[in-house]
């Protein structure tokens, strides 16, 4: 059979099935890539990371929230190391969100309303640089929005004290141990007791009102 004759032969069922499988697999890869490209991340530190998940989890457009450690020098730090204050890391939360449903500016608004921006190297009952408040920007757009939101808060006249929350370049984010993820769901009684005894909501109401 010549080359021209082979080209004229109809494709076999096996050939068609193989091409169909390739086409479906390609479409799946394209869809996954498109979905991943649509999501963005934002990283914040606001004291105990258990308490930073609930306000973000309830927002429309959230894909997931992950608590962890960032801003320090130690690679793959443990909770014990970070809580001891020797790693330079801060307890943090990384928010994965859909920018088509919620903007970074809204995330900043939620962040500010859930922290004490006036106290350096502490949040509520937790003391130490590992509990500092910070915005870790991932790109120039986030940096500009974060810096502007801080300036706007300073200019608002709400506070007489300076805003000490850091706006710094995001570095490596290390997810915390699994038992810390969604802690408020896994251990609701312990979480509520800790939050109340730490005076978090009382201080937030004092700063921001109800």
Of the candidates 48, 51, 125, 198, the residue annotated as catalytic is 48
Burial of 203 (0-12, 13-18, 19+ CB in 10 A): middle
From CA 120, how far away is CA 58, in angstroms rounded? 28
Cite the beta strand spans of the chain per DSSP E: 40-46, 62-70, 90-97, 122-123, 126-127, 133-137, 166-169, 174-175
| Residue 48 among the catalytic residues | yes
Fill in the DSSP letter of residue 163.
P
From CA 150, how far away is CA 136, in angstroms rounded? 13
From CA 147, how far away is CA 132, in angstroms rounded? 17
Query: Which residues have a catalytic role annotated?
Result: 48
């Amino acid at each position: 059979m010549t080359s021209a004759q082979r080209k004229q032969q109809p494709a076999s069922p096996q050939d068609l099935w193989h091409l169909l499988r390739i086409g479906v697999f390609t479409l799946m890869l394209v869809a996954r890539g498109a979905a991943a490209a649509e999501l963005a991340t934002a990283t914040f530190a606001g004291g105990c990371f258990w308490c930073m998940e609930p306000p973000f989890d309830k927002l429309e457009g959230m894909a997931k929230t992950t608590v962890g450690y960032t801003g320090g020098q130690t690679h793959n730090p443990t909770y014990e190391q970070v809580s001891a204050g020797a790693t330079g890391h801060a307890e943090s939360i990384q928010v994965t969100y859909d920018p088509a449903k919620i903007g970074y500016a809204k995330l900043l608004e939620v962040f500010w309303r859930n922290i004490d921006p006036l106290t350096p190297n502490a949040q509520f009952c937790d003391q130490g640089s590992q509990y500092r408040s910070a915005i870790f920007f991932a790109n120039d757009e986030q940096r500009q929005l974060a810096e502007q939101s801080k300036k706007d808060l300073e200019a608002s006249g709400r506070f007489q004290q300076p805003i000490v929350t850091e706006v710094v370049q995001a570095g490596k984010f290390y997810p915390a141990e699994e038992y810390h993820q969604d802690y408020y769901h896994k251990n609701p009684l312990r979480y509520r007791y800790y939050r109340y005894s730490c005076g978090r909501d009382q201080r937030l109401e004092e700063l921001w009102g109800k």
